[in-house]
Structure 1
Amino acid sequence: MNQNVENSLFIRAALSQQTERPPVWMMRQAGRFMPEYWEIKNKYSFLEMCKTPEIAADVTMLPVNLLGIDAAILFSDILVTPEAMGGDLSFKEGVGPRFSNPVRNRADAEALGTDVVDKLQYVAEAIKEIQSRLNGSIPLIGFAGAPFTVLSYLIEGGSSKDFKKTKYLLHNDPELAHFILSKITKVTVDYLNMQIDAGVNALQLFDSWAQALSWDDYNEFSHQYNKEIISKLNRKGVPIISFAKGSSVFYPLMVESNPDVISVDWNANLRSLKDSLPAGIAVQGNLDPYIFYADKSVIKKRIEQLFESMRGVDGYIFNLGHGIMPDFSFDKVKYAVDLIKEFRY
């Protein structure tokens, strides 16, 4: 790892080392709230953007150049892995991701491929292109979707409000659910290790729909697979962030998967959660993203309250409890980043 990156605020905080202020990056920081993103998006489909290394690099660099954040995150999508496995994926404006061939039975599940890293080489190429542009200035975060979240998209055929089909599968045919989850897990391990080989400086595992699960179902159908993935990563010097919508509930299990960082949703008191974690596990979060609809004075007050509560903690990365919304004011996000960068413990 580049010496500058190794000593960066983000890597030090992720490895629970002391920092003079919290590093800042935000989920969906290279997204639809930026006019510059739309200048690119209006020329290409979303999948073209993900699959063309130069375009993925252009989008990744937008928040680096325009916001001045402390870590870049690869521009891609969690659904590139199930697409490589055989899912027929499309993205439709106003609808979101769709699989035209959802997995509904054993035959569908058996048709899913697991030796698919060759199909994902465009991601490795994007990582190399981004790193050449970053030139050691800040770390680059790679990522993947966690198996349960990916499973839910494959079963539902897209996003879901109630996860009815997914839960039907978990409760009525758990053996088939585990068969699919095992396949996704193998692909995810291979994919994340490919990203490490290509040069990412950190990784985040996104379990975006974990909050749909009960405690016991999370333990059986999500946690054990996340734990397996993290245990099989070539993670020397590469911090692993575990994110779940639901982390304020599930963090005692998340700890058992041995991540370097737990990314916390906005429902928790971050300091009390951090104080309950074992030494050596950092936290990331957890400002409610919807604060950005408020006035700047409110944004300032909430960030300062959060930072005061985390004073004296080693291992804290500022982020939102979830991603930036498309209609956020760029000006307010930039204001928040500048405010954070001025803060000193």
Structure 2
Amino acid sequence: MNNDLFLKAAFSQKTERPPVWMMRQAGRFMPQYWEIKNKYSFLEMCKTPEIAADVTMLPVDLLDIDAAILFSDILVTGEAMGGDLSFTQGVGPKFANPVRSQADIDALETDVADRLQYVADAIKVIQQRLNGKIPLIGFAGAPFTVMSYLVEGGSSRDFKLTKLMLHNEPEMAHQLLAKIAKVTADYLNLQIAAGVNAVQIFDSWAQALSWDDYREFSHRYIAEIISNLNRKDIPVISFCKGSSVFAPMMAEAEPDVISIDWNVDLLDMKKRLPQGIAVQGNLDPHILYTDKRVIKDRIYRLFDRMKDEAGFIFNLGHGIMPDIPFDNVKYAIDVIKEFKY
């Protein structure tokens, strides 16, 4: 690997500067993304290896980041299990056949690796193009987050139907989560076998859960997935919205890295975690809307807090918003790459 800063930091080794990548770094804030998106549907982009590789490479070529992340979506596992998935501009993802009964859960399949082979094919194309320049991160949605889309039939503000299942029908909820967890572990192992250099588990909606419900309906399944990964030399990153609350519990699953949202001081959180767990984060992505002097000041403020810490990967507390100016993102990455401890 020509640039292994990300892998070193993920394994809590000292680096000469913090490595940088950003969630949603290949996306709607890039004009070049829209040149591709205007020609194909979102699922076509995900399922066509050459196109997925084109999008994955955009931030590698245009931003010079320290790690690439596979272009795909967290809901491909739900689709592979039998969900009728579609994406509509301005609406987002929809499952036309939501999962709300025992019969719906029983109908979901778990031996679905062949239906996700297009992801493995994309990884092989991407690695050929990267040619050892930087690491490639694979990913999957966490079971609770995927469950919420399957049960709600799409995005939700209050997760009412999902929470009703958790509380009124906990046995059904656990059956559904166990099925998703099996598919997710198999899927991440498929990505590892295809050649990714790291994996991240995205629990995008965990902040909807109370502490006890997070432990019962999310954390236990993420721990199960991580324990079933072929993770030799492959760092595992655990991310959730709500990690500023849940990170100490997340550490019990023994990921290599915990990605932290922007609601907590990163150094304080690092010191609360076990030795050997790296942190990733945690700039508020809204800072990337601001004047460049503010962007630089906030990045340097974070670096000053983390200067004595091994195991720090610069990232945002969540993903880049679609209307953040591209030049601001590029400026932030340039500031980070010029920094030296």
TM-score higher than 0.5: yes
Per-residue deviation at 1:120?
0.2
| Match of residue 46 from structure 1 | 42
Identity of aligned residues (%): 75
AA aligned to 2:83 is G
How many residues are aligned here?
341
| Match of residue 75 from structure 2 | 79
Alignment partner of 1:295 is 2:299: no
Per-residue deviation at 1:276?
1.3
| Match of residue 19 from structure 1 | 15
Alignment partner of 1:104 is 2:100: yes
Per-residue deviation at 1:293?
1.4
SS in 1 for 2:321: coil
Q: 1:173 aligns with which of 141, 152, 169?
A: 169
Q: Superposed, which structure 2 residues align to 1:210-229 within 5 Å?
A: 210-229=206-225
Alignment partner of 1:281 is 2:277: yes
Between 134-143 and 292-301, report the one with greater CA deviation.
292-301
Per-residue deviation at 1:4?
3.6
State how far apart, in whole Å, the 2-side matches of 1:156 and 1:178 are. Answer: 16
AA aligned to 1:34 is M
| Match of residue 239 from structure 1 | 235
State how far apart, in whole Å, the 1-side matches of 2:272 and 2:165 are. Answer: 34
| Match of residue 269 from structure 1 | 265
Alignment partner of 1:36 is 2:32: yes
State how far apart, in whole Å, the 2-side matches of 1:53 and 1:257 are. Answer: 32
Alignment partner of 1:121 is 2:117: yes
Per-residue deviation at 1:255?
0.5
Alignment partner of 1:184 is 2:199: no
State how far apart, in whole Å, the 1-side matches of 2:134 and 2:153 are. Answer: 37
| Match of residue 131 from structure 2 | 135
- Where structure 1 has 5 or more consecutive residues not aligned to the other structure, the ranges are none
Q: 2:141 aligns with which of 139, 145, 149?
A: 145
| Match of residue 53 from structure 2 | 57
AA aligned to 2:11 is L
SS in 2 for 1:161: coil
AA aligned to 1:280 is G
* Runs of 4+ deviating beyond 2 Å: none
State how far apart, in whole Å, the 1-side matches of 2:177 and 2:100 are. Answer: 14
Aligned-pair Cα RMSD in Å: 0.6
| Match of residue 343 from structure 1 | 339
- Where structure 2 has 5 or more consecutive residues not aligned to the other structure, the ranges are none
AA aligned to 1:109 is I
State how far apart, in whole Å, the 2-side matches of 1:107 and 1:268 are. Answer: 42
Per-residue deviation at 1:27?
0.2
Per-residue deviation at 1:134?
0.1
AA aligned to 1:332 is N
State how far apart, in whole Å, the 2-side matches of 1:271 and 1:16 are. Answer: 14
AA aligned to 1:180 is L
| Match of residue 254 from structure 1 | 250
